[in-house]
Amino acid sequence: MTARHFLLDTDLTSADQAAVLDLADALKARRRTPGPADRPLTGRSVALLFEKPSTRTRISFDVGVAELGGHPVVIDATSSHIGRGETIEDTAAVLSRYVDAIVVRTFAQERLERLAAASSVPVVNALSDHAHPCQALADLQTIRERRGSLAGLTLTYLGDGNNVAHSLLLAGTLAGMRIHVASPPGYEPFEQVVRHANEIGAATGGEALVMHDALEAAADADVLYTDVWASMGQEDESDSRSLVFQPYRLDEKAVEAARPDVLVMHCLPAHRELEIASAVIDGPHSVVFDQAENRLHAQKALLSLLLTEGADGAGGPR
């Protein structure tokens, strides 16, 4: 059976995504009292390959694989041969002989695609410069916990049209949500991602919209979301970006413009008083730390789907 990879949010169908979220909820509820069915990775190993620094991703996957009954093998690229010139294809071929899945946190999406093409086991995108699909699954789980369903909700993202914004656009429209992104001119999400999200939305009732006025975008939002203004590798742009992005700060004014029961989200790490006000991230609308916890549960559900027989999902909007 050909390995099924998760390199982009649209590697899941709408039905697959809902199934992952359902299983994530069940695994969360049974976390302290797991049964045999909650340990589908017993006797299996998962490589966790990190080419970028990580806190939440590394710990949540490490703990998650162990809780599923598997053995996590953490590989730091700086201390392995992949960091000394070994090709990504050779790395994939070797790891496929040792482990049952490869989780990768890397830079270019193209590296993930090359790894997956040479791998005979599932490859999971734990973050790339283009997308952060595991984060989006945890975000959807968090919203659904609070709202009961996702279809028809409006999520407004304020800030840089980065990898997190891309995944929210794709995963959100797969769930039938309206995803509004407010970014400064020149910092919008990739146009092809927005176009793809609207193609998905045509089948699910979702919508992708890019705007430039932050408060207009925040009006009547069910969810307000932000991320750092300078991602890893953009540190030298931090000062200039801080000036450009100031109007897109998730602060009390943005919360007041949204619905009274708005949820406030940030994928962390947060630069308090830059992209988000401390009063907001610590306030009554915040579900930021629920998001962080749900990385564990959503990723456990995803690995269970990818590594369980019969998970060859087909059909549905992509």
User: Which domains does the chain show, CATH number per domain?
Assistant: 9-132+295-307 (3.40.50.1370), 135-292 (3.40.50.1370)
Active site residue 58: no
| pLDDT above 50 for 317 | no
pLDDT bucket at 80, cuts 50 / 70 / 90: confident
Q: Which of 5, 132, 178, 266 is catalytic?
A: 132
Q: Which of 5, 58, 105, 166 is catalytic?
A: 105
User: What is the residue-averaged pLDDT of the chain?
Assistant: 94
**Residues 198-215: what's their mean pLDDT?**
98
Counting Cβ atoms within 10 Å, is residue 120 exposed (0-12), middle (13-18) or buried (19+)? exposed
Active site residue 105: yes
Q: Express each pLDDT in 53-78 by its tens digit.
A: 899 999 999 999 999 999 999 998 77
Q: Which of 5, 100, 129, 267 is catalytic?
A: 267
Which 3-state string (H, E, C) describes the chain?
A: CCCCCECCHHHCCHHHHHHHHHHHHHHHHCCCCCCHHHCCCCCCEEEEEECCCCCHHHHHHHHHHHHCCCEEEEEEHHHCHHHHCCCHHHHHHHHHHHCCEEEEECCCHHHHHHHHHHCCCCEEEEECCCCCHHHHHHHHHHHHHHHCCCCCCEEEEECCCCHHHHHHHHHHHHCCCEEEEECCCCCCCCHHHHHHHHHHHHHHCCEEEEECCHHHHHCCCCEEEECCCCCCCCHHHHHHHHHHHHHHCECHHHHHHCCCCCEEEECCCCCECCCECHHHHCCCCECHHHHHHHHHHHHHHHHHHHHCCCCCCCCCCC
pLDDT bucket at 309, cuts 50 / 70 / 90: low
Distance from C-alpha of 11 to C-alpha of 141, rounded to nearest angstrom: 18
Structure tokens at 287: 């579900």
Active site residue 267: yes
Q: Express each pLDDT in 248-276 by its tens digit.
A: 999 999 999 999 999 999 999 999 999 99
Strand partners, 250: 276
Q: Which of 16, 129, 160, 227 is catalytic?
A: 227
Q: Which of 56, 178, 180, 295 is catalytic?
A: 295
Active site residue 227: yes
| pLDDT above 80 for 238 | no
Of the listed ranges 73-82, 202-211, 215-224, 254-263, the one predicted with least confidence:
73-82
Q: Which of 9, 134, 135, 297 is catalytic?
A: 135
pLDDT bucket at 318, cuts 50 / 70 / 90: very low
Q: Map tokens 């998970």 to a residue.
A: 311
Active site residue 134: no
Q: What is the pLDDT of residue 231?
A: 76
The better pLDDT of the pair 65, 232 is held by: 65
Of the listed ranges 83-92, 104-113, 282-291, 293-302, the one predicted with least confidence:
83-92
pLDDT bucket at 96, cuts 50 / 70 / 90: very high
Active site residue 295: yes
